[in-house]
Amino acid sequence: MINQKQDWDVRTRSEACVKCTKPFSDQEEFLSRLFFGEEGYQREDICRACWEAVSAEPALSIWQSVFRLPPPPPPETLRKETAESLLRKLIEEDNAAHANTIYILAVMLERRRLLVERDVLVREDGVKLRVYEYRKTNETFVIRDPELKLAELEHVQEEVVLMLGGGGEQPASPAQEEPQVDANARE
């Protein structure tokens, strides 16, 4: 009796004919054969044009299949922006139109204990600047306090949620979970 290794690790379908190496096209018929070779059970997928040359070779099993291209991978879901990465991006852009958003992001990160307020400076022109330190890296962020009114907070919070990739039925962001407080009440 031949000592046949019980190796059930049979290859999956090939993308191309093993004889002529021509890639199979979508919906193309091909033949597969299973045989016992030097390395145990082996599978060969062969196009119709090459089949005649190997059809007489011994095989344990032969079957016909139709090659179907695998479906394209699902579109990669967009990575949600984190509050920290969005804050860094907006600070780098240095656009005055984002002052309110930058401030709300800084407050969110402060509440999450990622930023620590180290100082509040008031310039000669009356503009209030908050000095934050990022706990992990000790980086300093100087954020202009836009002195938002309570009526303005909801709009800015919605803008932040949208910029963070929220919307629809997503979990509430920390900006939504926090009770709305007058931003001027910080000092």
In a domain, 74, yes or no: no
Give the residue from 30, 34, 28 showing the smallest Cα distance to 64. Answer: 30
For residue 179, what pLDDT is reported? Answer: 39
Are residues 45 and 90 located together in one domain of the fold? no
Give the residue from 35, 10, 33, 13 showing the smallest Cα distance to 23. Answer: 13
* pLDDT, greater one: 48 or 80: 48
pLDDT (tens digit per residue) in 57-66? 888 888 999 9
Are residues 168 and 93 located together in one domain of the fold? yes
The whole domain housing 52 covers: 12-69
Query: Is it the case that residue 28 has pLDDT exceeding 90?
Result: yes
Whether 46 and 30 have beta carbons less than 8 Å apart is answered as: yes
DSSP 112-128: TTSEEEEEEEE-TTS-E
Mean model confidence pLDDT for the chain: 79
Give the residue from 31, 29, 26 showing the smallest Cα distance to 71. Answer: 26
pLDDT (tens digit per residue) in 104-162? 899 889 999 999 999 998 989 999 999 999 988 888 889 999 888 877 777 888 888 88
* pLDDT, greater one: 77 or 43: 43
Backbone region of residue 111 per phi and psi (left: phi > 0; alpha: psi in -120 to 50; beta: other values): alpha
Whether 133 and 150 have beta carbons less than 8 Å apart is answered as: no
Are residues 22 and 49 located together in one domain of the fold? yes
